[in-house]
Structure 1
Amino acid sequence: MRCRSTSVHQISIASEPHRTFFLKLEWAKDLGSGFVILLSDGVSAWSGEVSEEDVSREAQEIEMELERYVGDLHLALTGEGPAAEGEYSFHLTPERPGRPLLQLSYEKVQNDISFRLGVVDLQAVPEPTEVIRELISHGLEQSACLQAKNQHLLEENQKLRREQEHITKKMERYVQGKETLERDLYGRFVLVLNEKKAKLRALQKRVKELEESIEKNRLRKKADSEEHKTMETAADKSPEVESDYGGSTEDEQEAEPRQSDPKPLTQERSRLKRPKPRRAKRQTSNRNQQALWRTLIRTTCLMIYDPLWGLMSTVCDKHDFCTVFKLQE
């Protein structure tokens, strides 16, 4: 067989509790293709072989899938894997008269129930010292391999520890930088926040001042309006100086100097000199009386000065009666 795998481990025989046995197992591909067993107690040695057909027959006898059977067989004979202590047991049948062979059976214990996985016939080895030497050599090789593996793991562990220390220091620097940056940003944030608060307070103060100014202007305008209304009411209630005949008569108008080119009042002066409602009513009454007198005088003049009527009509439209009489004279 080529590229054979080897496994050696210590087992306990239930029928020989005071003896220590070492079980060496060799196989090619896997245990399903057959294997060779070598058993030694340090003084004697026995060997046996299990073929592929034997493995298949044992799996059929216990009605178990071959793959699962091979897995349990590997755990029982090599001692590798997560198998719990006491899950597998070994029994050794002593030699009988006329039969120089030993039988090694291996069983699986599950829920206090055991069933046999298999059995192998062992034959005594003529030179047990050679087998013991092979066991010792294999043990030393395994020990050296384990030491090398352990050394490699130690180096990896030291390397990882150095990397961890380096990363820890770097993380500490990052944390310190982060804390410094946070303090700086927090300080800047506080400054900006205080400036914003100051601006808000100034704006609120300005808005309050504007509101107060607007309220003062409104109250002042209201007071001025009320004062103006009060003055107008007092002026309307004051006694009139002029009577219904307070207007100028024709004689008074005759004594007044003649205006060569009277100009009409502008719209602004007319608005400023617009009479009060009651005074305007009284002045309208006076004008109506004056117009009535002019009409009466023109009629009288028509009876007396018929030839001069056209001249008087023109003059009376622009001047009063006294002016007409002065022209006639």
Structure 2
Amino acid sequence: MEPESEARHSCLKLELTQDNSESDSFPKQTIFVMGTWFPSRFSLSITDGLDSWLCNASEEDVRERASQWDQSVSEYIDFAEKYLGFQQPHSVYRFSDAGNGFRRLSWTFEKEGITLEWRWRCKPSPDNRKTTATILDFLMDANIRLSEEVVRKTQSFDRLKEEAQKCLVQSEKLSAEKDEFETEVYAKFVSVLNSKKAKLRELRDRLSKQEAKGKLPQEEDASTDGTEPYRTESDDDMHSEE
């Protein structure tokens, strides 16, 4: 027997497919199916709000059914949990009379283009109130957990939204500073570039004038370098005597 700690739980609000042959003594179309899933067995608690039923699929029952469908036990459990944990849109669910207060829970599925059906017989609960209360308690606890999770997610979302807003403001500020910096740098670059262009034009004009005279600035500098004669002390004396 697997320990309770290994169990998974589900509860499905099941919208039933009404059968024309169904007796009017069972007019309800909605039931709640609570499943307790173990690795090799499962149990179902079912209520329509008034009456309730139980289905205990033992390890031997599950092993036999799995063998009939060429499945492993784990595959069979997973498949049953899929269809009884969430209502599958293309499956036809029924909860029909099986006599003596028993009901038969069934659902269809497609395999290789063929519509197949699984059925499990459910016996009347010895205590309708207790079974229904157990299902309602599970739903209430699940609702509380979901509500708390929604609150946590909402708070987390609000924090993320606030952080995102701060990041957006910071990003816009940095973008504006970047644009301002680029504009300033570009203006300085244009100013320096224009200054260089002006100097180049000035040098080009000077070169053009020098070339027109047939003398380059370098030659003029060379001709004027060192032309002043060296005067000795005796020369100074001679000039003073004169």
- The TM-score normalised by the length of structure 1 is 0.56
Q: 1:192 to 1:110 in 2, by over 3 A?
A: farther
Q: 1:198 to 1:22 in 2, by over 3 A?
A: same
Match of 2:8 among 5, 29, 32: 5
Q: 1:64 to 1:208 in 2, by over 3 A?
A: farther
Give the CA deviation at 1:185: 0.5
Q: Distance in 2 between matches of 1:146 and 1:109?
A: 33
Give the CA deviation at 1:64: 4.7
Match of 1:34 among 36, 41, 44: 41
Give the CA deviation at 1:69: 4.3
**When you count strand as a share of all residues, which structure comes out higher?**
2
Q: Distance in 2 between matches of 1:13 and 1:169?
A: 53
Aligned residue for 1:200, secondary structure, equals helix
2:30 corresponds to: 20
Aligned 8 A contact 1:25 1:37 in 2: yes
Whether 1:92 and 2:95 are equivalent positions in the alignment is yes
Aligned residue for 1:180, secondary structure, equals helix
1:124-143 alignment, distance < 5 Å: 124-143=124-143
Q: Distance in 2 between matches of 1:146 and 1:43?
A: 26
Q: Distance in 2 between matches of 1:102 and 1:74?
A: 19
Give the CA deviation at 1:196: 1.4
Point out the more displaced range, 173-182 or 99-108: 99-108
1:49 corresponds to: 56
Aligned residue for 1:149, secondary structure, equals helix
Q: 1:68 to 1:44 in 2, by over 3 A?
A: same
Point out the more displaced range, 131-140 or 141-150: 131-140
Give the CA deviation at 1:25: 0.3
* 2:55 maps to amino acid: G
Q: Distance in 2 between matches of 1:90 and 1:149?
A: 31
The number of residue pairs the alignment matches comes to 206
Between the aligned residues of both structures, percent identity stands at: 21
Give the CA deviation at 1:153: 0.7
2:220 corresponds to: none
Greater Rg by CA: 1
Aligned 8 A contact 1:87 1:110 in 2: no
* 1:144 maps to amino acid: I
* 1:139 maps to amino acid: L
Instruction: Write out per-residue CA displacement over residues 82-124 of structure 1, whole angstroms, 9 at most, x where no aligned residue.
Output: x7x522332233133xx553222222147984212x3222110
Give the CA deviation at 1:23: 0.3
Q: Distance in 1 between matches of 2:163 and 2:58?
A: 52
Aligned 8 A contact 1:42 1:132 in 2: yes
Aligned 8 A contact 1:89 1:109 in 2: no
Q: Greater relative contact order (Cα 8 A, min sep 6): structure 1 or 2? A: 2
Aligned 8 A contact 2:37 2:77 in 1: no
Any gaps of 5 or more consecutive residues in structure 2?
Answer: 216-242
Whether 1:102 and 2:103 are equivalent positions in the alignment is yes
* 2:173 maps to amino acid: R
Give the CA deviation at 1:34: 0.9
Whether 1:114 and 2:121 are equivalent positions in the alignment is no
Give the CA deviation at 1:203: 2.2
* 2:177 maps to amino acid: G
Any gaps of 5 or more consecutive residues in structure 1?
Answer: 216-329
Whether 1:157 and 2:164 are equivalent positions in the alignment is no
